[in-house]
């Protein structure tokens, strides 16, 4: 008998039969266990827990934040009023910022630019002379002063009507000052004009606006007095 035939003898006959039977057993075991019913699942204490309120309604607590790791991925965004927020996972939101103008779909909208709206303005009857007392006119909304030429000591009336602004002020080189986005239909009366007076309208835009402010000026002059020498 040659050496080459020895391995054949080791794995021949009974041994091969035994190995084959073992493999079949294992295979059958695997196939059967694959069809065994799965367990019904662990029923925790909170699965159906409700707690009765004093009038018998069922309060249902949750337990989302018990999970130790805060999800870092942003799952959404939105607005609540003017608060823009991002949502992490399903349980928590973080307010990103409060929008100055308006929030939409989690983003702060850029407000419309500062504008000036026309309005029907009146000059009270008491404003006589060159002021056109007792009349109405259509104001442009930009800073307007009536009249622009006055006698020393007289007063003038100012009109303006800004929109899409956070605030406005009108100041005069004579010390006059008003803080309002609109003068109102009857305008505002100045103090006495005793020399050339420059009035400046300054408006701050709404937050996030492209142009942060706007400024306009009107100059009131004194009618010269000629004196013969």
| Residues near other proteins (CB under 8 A) | 23-24, 26-27, 30-31, 33-34, 36, 38-51, 53-68, 78, 80-81, 85, 89-95
Nearest approach in angstroms of CB 121 to other proteins is 42
Nearest approach in angstroms of CB 31 to other proteins is 6
Nearest approach in angstroms of CB 75 to other proteins is 10
Q: How far is CA 98 from the centre of its chain?
A: 5
DSSP 25: H
Closer residue to other proteins in complex, CB, 33/229: 33
Closer residue to other proteins in complex, CB, 81/153: 81
Nearest approach in angstroms of CB 190 to other proteins is 47
Closer residue to other proteins in complex, CB, 51/210: 51
Structure tokens at 202: 């300054």
Closer residue to other proteins in complex, CB, 81/175: 81
Cβ neighbors of 164 (< 8 A, separation 6 or more) are 111, 112, 113, 114, 115, 205, 206, 209
**Contact indicator for 128, 150 with CB cutoff of 8 Å:** no
Closer residue to other proteins in complex, CB, 4/34: 34
The count of other CB atoms within 10 Å of the CB of residue 9 is: 10
Nearest approach in angstroms of CB 108 to other proteins is 16
Nearest approach in angstroms of CB 54 to other proteins is 6
Closer residue to other proteins in complex, CB, 40/229: 40
Per the listing, tokens 């307007």 go with 144
The count of other CB atoms within 10 Å of the CB of residue 93 is: 18
Q: E strands along 65-164, which residues? A: 74-80, 83-88, 92-98, 102-104, 107-109, 115-116, 119-123, 135-139, 144-146, 149-150, 157-159, 162-163
Q: What share of the chain is helix, strand, coil (3-state, %, to 5)?
A: 15, 40, 45
**Contact indicator for 209, 111 with CB cutoff of 8 Å:** yes
């Amino acid at each position: 008998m040659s050496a080459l035939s020895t391995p054949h003898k080791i794995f021949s006959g009974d041994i091969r039969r035994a190995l084959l039977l073992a493999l079949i057993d294992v295979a059958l075991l695997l196939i059967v266990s694959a069809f065994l019913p799965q367990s019904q699942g662990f029923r925790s204490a909170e699965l159906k827990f409700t707690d009765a309120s004093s009038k018998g309604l069922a309060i249902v607590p949750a337990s989302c934040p018990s999970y130790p790791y805060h999800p870092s991925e942003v799952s959404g965004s939105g607005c609540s009023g003017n608060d823009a927020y991002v949502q992490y996972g399903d349980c928590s939101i973080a307010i990103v910022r409060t929008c100055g103008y308006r929030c939409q779909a989690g983003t702060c909208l850029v407000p419309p630019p500062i504008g000036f709206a026309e309005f029907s303005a009146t000059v009270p009857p008491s404003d006589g002379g060159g002021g056109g007392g007792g009349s109405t006119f259509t104001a442009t909304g930009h800073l307007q002063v009536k009249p622009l030429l006055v006698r020393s000591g007289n007063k003038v009336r100012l009109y303006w009507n800004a929109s899409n602004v956070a605030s406005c002020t009108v100041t005069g080189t004579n010390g006059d000052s008003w803080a309002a986005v609109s003068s109102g239909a009857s305008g505002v009366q100045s103090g006495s004009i005793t020399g050339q007076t420059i009035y400046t309208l300054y408006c701050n835009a709404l937050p996030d606006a492209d142009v942060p402010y706007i400024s306009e000026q009107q100059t009131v002059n004194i009618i010269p007095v000629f004196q013969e020498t």
